[in-house]
Structures are given as C-alpha cells and as structure tokens.
C-alpha cells in the first residue's frame, strides 16, 4: 500500500499522449492517481497493474456533472487531491475564417471550459487542505500564435490568462499554479487526435495551408519525448518554489524567446506614441 506521504493526482485525458505518460510515471514512482478518460477501458491495464494506487474513471471534462463526480470519487477513494493536471484537449487545424461555429465552440468547450470546470470543482478541496498544485497543460501555442491554429491558440491564450490570475487568487491558500508549455512531442496530438476544419479556402494556401502541409509531415517525427516531459512535470510538483511557466522542448523555448524579443523591440520602437496619450499637465481649469 502507498505510504501517507505520497501524493494523490487527478489527471484528465489519461488514455494517451502526455496524460498517459504522466499517469504511468506517477504510478511507477508510487504516488496515487485518479486516471480519467472518456473511454476508461483504455486504462484497464494500469488499474490492474496498480490495484491499490490507480483508479480509472470515465470523465468528459465538458460535462459538469461528470467533473463533480470525478472530484467526489477521488476524495472517496484516496481522501484528498494534491495535484490536478488539466491535460484533456486537442488541436483544431484551420484558418480563422475556415473554422465553423461548431468547430470553434467545441474547441473552447474542451480546451478552456473543461479545464475551468475542473479548476472550480477542485478548489474547495484544495482550500480546505491548505495545499495543492494545479498543472494546466497549455502549449507553446498558448504564448505565440501560429497560422492555421488560431482557434486553438485562442483556447490556450485564455487558459494562460486564467492561470495567471488564479495563481494570485489562490496563493494565500498555499495552492500553486503551473502553466505547462510544450513544443512538438511525439504524441497523438498531431496525429489521430487532431481535428481539421472541414472547410478549406484555397486563398490561405500560403499561410494556414502551409501549416496543414507541415502537419502532414510532422506526425511521428517530433523531437520531444513524452516520458521526459512527464519527468519534468513531476519535478515541478516536488520543488519548493515551482515556476509559473514550464516550457518543454528547445523548439518551444526558441519560439517563446523570439516572441519576447519581438515584443520588446516593438515596445521600444513605438514608445513615444505609447506614452504620448496622456492629458497635458498644462490643462487649464
């Protein structure tokens, strides 16, 4: 049986990709996991291998009743929740104009609102414990926009904004928030998990169309190792002062640093226009 000092994790989207790699690594370490998936039978092997420390349950993060049920199951099974990992999500490939209303809304329902409902459901537990850590799995695409991923970028930018505010709100309760920003990793994200907009507008061939072509070649060739990403996430959870952002992958680091340089240069170039927008101090009364 697990000792009292092990952590209890609740991981969404545990059946594949980062969720699967992290679930396996956490269980191997000896921590306890509520592993969730829309098809929990995909987790049967882990539940059988770790009968005392793993519990697999069905969870569609867009269903608030299932979200609340998952929290109750975690508490009833292991008595607490130390780490919530909001991993469930997927990519939508297509230009802004190409995305249908249904495609855009479904993307936001899963990637943004699913994470929000999980956060709102777990916070009363963590506040009562006066401890907890929430890992929100964003993306390099939550910090930098990319042609062909605008709707996806929107969900992750929004998740990062929520995460930054949340970190300030829950700091008095000893609850930590870390935004995880992976680059390209060898998961199903670019493969069978990817949704492509049904509408294709030929005029975008040189922008989002090029991204479509690139994604066709990307699957299975990514440099990032999901097992090493899982180890990095576990490291963050076990340090005294975890970072607010954990960037994963040299490609992600390069793109984020590039954006920061670009923003700084633009701020400098337009500084006079920026600051010359105040009322004149010579105003007469």
Residue-level pLDDT at 191:
55
Q: Give the residue-averaged pLDDT of 201-206.
A: 93
Residue-level pLDDT at 214:
78
The residues spanned by each domain of the chain are 8-253
Lowest mean per-residue pLDDT among 2-11, 63-72, 121-130? 2-11
Phi, psi (rounded to 5 degrees) for 247: -90, 135
Q: Give the residue-averaged pLDDT of 229-249.
A: 95
Confidence of residue 212 (pLDDT cuts 50, 70, 90): confident
Residue-level pLDDT at 202:
92
How many residues are recorded in the chain?
A: 285
The answer to whether domain 8-253 has CATH 3.90.1150.10 is: no
List active site positions: 138, 152, 156
Lowest mean per-residue pLDDT among 38-52, 102-116, 161-175? 38-52
DSSP letters, 29-66, are HT-EEEEEESSGGGGHHHHHHSTTTEEEEE--TT-HHH
Residue-level pLDDT at 19:
92
pLDDT tens string 168-187: 999 999 999 999 999 987 66
pLDDT tens string 240-279: 999 999 999 999 999 999 999 999 999 999 999 999 999 9
Report yes or no on whether pTM surpasses 0.85: yes
Cβ neighbours of residue 117 closer than 8 Å, sequence gap 6 or more: 61, 62, 64, 67
Q: Give the residue-averaged pLDDT of 131-141.
A: 97
Residue-level pLDDT at 47:
92
Q: State yes or no: pLDDT of 3 exceeds 60.
A: no
Residue-level pLDDT at 178:
98
């Amino acid at each position: 049986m697990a000792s009292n000092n092990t952590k209890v994790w609740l991981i969404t989207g545990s059946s594949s990709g980062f969720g699967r790699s992290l679930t396996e690594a956490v269980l191997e370490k000896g921590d306890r996991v509520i592993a969730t998936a829309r098809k929990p039978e995909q987790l049967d092997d882990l539940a059988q291998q770790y009968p005392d420390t793993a519990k697999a349950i069905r969870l569609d993060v867009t269903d608030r009743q299932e979200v609340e049920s998952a929290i109750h199951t975690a508490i009833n099974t292991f008595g607490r929740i130390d780490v919530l990992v909001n991993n469930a999500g997927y990519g939508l490939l297509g230009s802004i104009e190409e995305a249908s209303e249904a495609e855009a809304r479904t993307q936001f329902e899963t990637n943004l609102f699913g994470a929000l409902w999980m956060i709102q459901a777990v916070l009363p537990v963590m506040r009562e414990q006066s401890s907890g850590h929430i890992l929100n799995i964003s993306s390099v695409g939550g910090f930098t926009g990319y042609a062909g991923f605008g709707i996806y970028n929107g969900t992750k930018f929004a998740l990062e904004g929520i995460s930054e505010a949340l970190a300030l709100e829950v700091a008095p309760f000893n609850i930590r928030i870390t935004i995880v920003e992976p680059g390209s990793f060898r998961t199903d994200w670019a493969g069978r998990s990817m949704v492509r907009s049904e509408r294709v507008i030929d005029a975008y061939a040189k922008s989002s169309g090029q991204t479509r072509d690139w994604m066709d070649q990307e699957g299975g060739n990514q440099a990032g190792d999901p097992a090493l990403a899982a180890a990095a996430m576990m490291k963050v959870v076990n340090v005294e002062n975890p970072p607010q952002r954990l960037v994963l992958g040299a490609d992600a680091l390069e793109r984020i640093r590039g954006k920061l340089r670009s923003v700084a240069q633009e701020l400098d170039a337009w500084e006079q226009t920026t600051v010359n927008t105040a009322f004149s101090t010579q105003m007469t009364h």
